[in-house]
Amino acid sequence: MTTATTRDLDAIVVGAGFAGLYMLHRLRSLGLTVRAFEAGSGVGGTWFWNRYPGARCDVESMEYSYQFSDELQQDWQWTERYSSQPEILRYLNHVADRFDLRGDIQLETRVESAVYDEESARWTVRTSDGGQWSARYFIMATGCLSSTNLPKFPGQDTFRGQTFHTGRWPHEGVDFSGKRVAVIGTGSSAVQAIPLIAEEAEHLYVFQRTPNFSIPARNHPLDPAEVARIKKDYAELRSRAAGMPFGFNTRSEEVAALDVSEQERLAEYERRWESGGLPFLGAFSDLITSREANDTAADFVRAKIREIVRDREVADLLTPRTVLGCKRLCSDTHYYETFNRPNVTLIDVTSRPIEALTPGGLTAGGVEYEVDAIVFATGFDAMTGALLAVDIRGRDGLALRQKWSEGPRTYLGLATAGFPNLFFITGPGSPSVLSNMVPSIEQHVNWISACIAYLRSSGKSSIEPNRDAENAWALHVNEIADATLYPTCNSWYIGANIPGKPRVFMPYLGFPEYVEKADAIAANGYEGFELSAQK
């Protein structure tokens, strides 16, 4: 039953980043009535929010972009190997205009709750503007890295200076010139922002909990001849990438590090260090499965850090002891070099924990650091944060927060038992953050669209996974992860950055295998799902 104030739709999409925009486009092409709700005041998701200095992608732009429209990928001109945030945001705005999506996107509106009604097999969705909507399909395109993590320190409200989170950066930019600045965190965002803030600030204090491995990005303007060559047969690049473990061209090798001589290994690492970026991890086939192999790559980077950073003690603090790639590998422009600057101080918060914020700055290890601004580069409540921020209730009023209290449970990362017609784009249990996310998003959107088209053409009202399939999937995701080194460190892949978050390894490792399985399940009549007849 819907009330007079409830508006009916076929589908609701939450979020208007890469995922929400494409989902909206596909569902409209199927002839559905759809509305996308976006909390931000513009489209773009990650690229709308993360405007910190140096923000850019670290998968090459020619691959970190949609492939669903050949006209789009032919027309759009990326200017750099790794595009900057403003350029990616321009691209996503172009997509919104080109496919005429804006009319069905409601900005500055947060979806707050969604309740499933078994009688009608529909979702009732409430939004922050007081709206109430009813839809058959409810699709979370809320992003894996959109719910910011802001640690609480005593005295937080007493600090008189400015505070920023890299994932909620002011649109007008920030001028740090002449300012003393603290950056808290040394993950991917910090690694990009620190060199640029250091150039501007009077003094920069970097508060580091765990050092991270970073490979020079070697960003450069794109050569038009190279772009033309790719565009001549874009499909070839895309299909090669689809066969790679992470869904982008990591130039992964079949050869194991331990099967070649030390000289050959070092030569390959050097080549990859020089060509730059995340493909470093593709140097040998056993880098993420064998600790001994991984040590050879990790030692290479550790030696580079010692070569670059002049102060022995600082170099030592910046040197990760963990497995290379186990936490998200970073990619930088002059990150380690920045610590040679006289205006940059590194503070190790393992030995000197941050105790409090004070009116004039912050104290760590009993020392007060006077600063004018604090930048929290403290990342996100990854993968589940934005999903659980919405109060989602499935069959029998079961809350998703309750169901996932011990960690997320999904089938294919696309759906969860007890929540019919609820779909996640790049949900936990799918390749998501362990892949080039744009092709992963497109693959999920295509799968969901085909599924909805099938439901409609076969007179079914709902689909949801059965618990056996879901349990088997959880075991499968874990088995794959356990055969690698990924679960061996405290990364956000297992929720370790959020106090109290259940430790579950969330992403699915292996893009090609995943796609094959998801396709086979659909081809076998949605094996492992329960489909109900039309209401």
281 part of the interface to ligand FAD, by CB under 6 A: no
Site for ligand FAD in 91-110 (CB under 6 A): 110
Q: Shortest CA distance to 467 belongs to which of 429, 421, 502, 418?
A: 418
Residue 221 vs residues 78, 81, 121, 238: alpha-carbon distances, Å:
9, 6, 52, 21
Q: Give me the least distance between CB of 37 and ligand FAD, in Å please.
A: 5
Question: Does 64 help bind ligand FAD (rule: CB under 6 A)?
Answer: yes
Structure tokens at 459: 């007179």
| Cβ-contact 272, 331 below 8 angstroms | no
Segment contacting ligand FAD by CB under 6 A, of 35-43, 117-125, 260-268, 301-309 = 35-43
Tokens of 517: 């399985």
Q: Which residues contact 445 (CB under 8 A, 6 or more apart)?
A: 19, 22, 23, 26, 425
- Cα–Cα distance between 40 and 49 in angstroms, integer? 8
- List the one residue from 12, 25, 34, 38 that touches ligand FAD (CB under 6 A): 38
Minimum CB–partner distance for residue 47 and ligand FAD (Å):
6
453 C-beta neighbours (distance < 10 Å), count: 16
Q: Burial, 494: exposed, middle or buried (Cβ in 10 Å; 0-12, 13-18, 19+)?
A: buried
Q: Which is nearer to ligand FAD, 243 or 365 (CB)?
A: 243
With CB under 6 A as the rule, give the number of residues binding ligand FAD: 36
Least separation in angstroms between residue 425's CB and ligand FAD is 6
Question: Closer CB to ligand FAD, residue 294 or residue 432?
Answer: 432
Does residue 437 touch ligand FAD according to CB under 6 A?
A: yes
Q: For strand 180-184 and strand 203-208, is the pairing parallel, antiparallel, or unpaired?
A: parallel
CA distance 180 to 163: 12
Exactly one of 11, 13, 14, 298 binds ligand FAD (CB under 6 A); which one? 14
Q: Does 422 bind ligand FAD (CB under 6 A)?
A: no
Q: Does 204 bind ligand FAD (CB under 6 A)?
A: no
Give, as one character, the DSSP assignment of residue 148. B
Helix or strand or coil: residue 354? strand
Applying CB under 6 A, among 9, 24, 25, 37 the residue interacting with ligand FAD is 37
Which residue in 406, 415, 385, 394 sits closest to 529, CA to CA? 415
Q: Which stretch binds ligand FAD (CB under 6 A): 1-9, 50-58, 359-367, 484-492?
A: 50-58
Residue 111 interacts with ligand FAD (CB under 6 A): yes or no: yes
Residue list 134-163, contact with ligand FAD (CB under 6 A): 141-146
User: Is there binding between residue 18 and ligand FAD (CB under 6 A)?
Assistant: yes
Instruction: With contacts defined by CB under 6 A, name the span among 38-46, 177-185, 203-211, 232-240 that binds ligand FAD.
Output: 38-46
Sole binder of ligand FAD in the list 34, 237, 390, 415 (CB under 6 A): 390
First to last CA, the chain: 13
Rule CB under 6 A: which residues touch ligand FAD?
14-15, 17-20, 37-40, 45-46, 48, 50, 55, 57-59, 64, 110-111, 141-146, 189, 386, 389-390, 425-426, 436-437, 441
